[in-house]
Structure 1
Amino acid sequence: MTTPKVCKDCEPGSKRPAPNPGPRCATHWRDEKKRRSTAAHQKRVQATYGLGDGTYDTLYAAQGGKCAICRRATGATRRLSVDHDHKTLLVRGLLCRPCNNLLGHARDDPAFFERAKSYLETPPAQAIGSWYAEK
C-alpha cells in the first residue's frame, strides 16, 4: 500500500490529504492558484501597459474599488480591465468589461456620448407617437 501524500504547506504531522499538485491540500492549492493568478496578472499589465508593481492595486484603491464609469462592478469575479487611450497609449483607469467595450465601440469619441445622452433624454419614438406617453 502506498502512503498518502501530505500537504507540503500544512503543519508537520498534519493528516490532510494532498491530491493537488505540490503536493498540496485543497486549501493551500486554492491559495497557490490565487498567488499564481495575481503574479501572472501583474506581469501582463506590466508588459502591456507599463504599470509597475502595485500600480494596478493603487489605481483600484483610488477608484474606490469600482469601475470608473458604472461604479457598480468591483472586479470581484473578473478583474477590472485597464483602459488606455489608443492614440497616446496612456492608461486612463480601470473599467468593467461592458464599460470598456462601450468605449471601444465609441472609438473614444466624446460626440458619441453626447448623442447617447440626447437619445436617452428625448427618444425618437417620443416625437412620432402619442402612444408613447400612454405607457
Structure 2
Amino acid sequence: MSSLKGSERNRGKPCKDCGKPKGPAYADQIRCYRCTQARKHAVRKAAHGRRVKSVYGITGEEYDQLYEAQGERCAICPRARGITRRLAVDHDHAVEAEQGSRASVRGLLCGPCNDMLAHVRDDPEVLAKAIEYLRNPPARAVLDLSA
C-alpha cells in the first residue's frame, strides 16, 4: 500500500476523463479544469432533473423541451433567460389537488413573475385591473396630467 495521500498519488497523472495533462493548478486532482466543470454541470443537471421529477412529475428532458418551446425565456417577461438561475416551474395549485402535479404544470417563469402570480393569487381579474391601471392611471385625471 502506498504511503502517499490521495491527492499526491494523482500528481503528474493525466486527466481521468480526457487523458490530457491537467496543468499546475489541477496537478493534485484526478480531472483537468474542463472535465471538472463538465462533471459539475452534469451533476447539477441530474440533480435538477430528479427534483422536477419528484416535485412536478416532469423529467429533466421535458423541462428542457418546455424551456426551448418558450424561446429559452420566461413565459411572461422576455428579459429572464434562466442562465444564472433556472426558471421556476409554474403550476396551478387547484389543478394539482385534483389531477396531480404533472397536470398542474403551466410553464417556466423567472422568480419575479412567479412571485407576481402568487401575489395576485392567480386571479386574471386582478391582472386585467393592473393592465387597465397601467393604460389609464388615475393620477392623470385627478392631477390633470395630459400624457
TM-score of Structure 1 vs Structure 2, range by shorter chain? 0.7 to 0.9
| Structure 1 residue 71 displacement after superposition | 2.3
| Alpha-carbon distance between aligned partners in 2 of 1:123 and 1:95, rounded to the nearest angstrom | 27
| Alpha-carbon distance between aligned partners in 1 of 2:72 and 2:131, rounded to the nearest angstrom | 26
C-alpha contact 1:20 1:26 (8 A) present in aligned 2: no
Show structure 1 runs of 5+ residues with no match.
none
Aligned to 1:60: 67
Aligned to 1:112: 126
Instruction: Considering fraction of residues, name the structure with more helix.
Output: 2
The letter for the 2-side match of 1:87 is: A
The letter for the 2-side match of 1:95 is: L
Aligned residue pairs, count: 131
Question: Which aligned pairs between 1:1-135 and structure 2 lie closer than 5 A?
Answer: 4=11, 6=13, 7-11=15-19, 14-17=21-24, 18=26, 23-89=30-96, 90-130=104-144, 132-133=145-146
TM-score by length of 2: 0.79
The letter for the 1-side match of 2:118 is: G
Partner SS state of residue 133, structure 1: coil
The letter for the 1-side match of 2:18 is: C
Aligned to 2:101: none
Show structure 2 runs of 5+ residues with no match.
97-103
| Alpha-carbon distance between aligned partners in 1 of 2:83 and 2:61, rounded to the nearest angstrom | 17
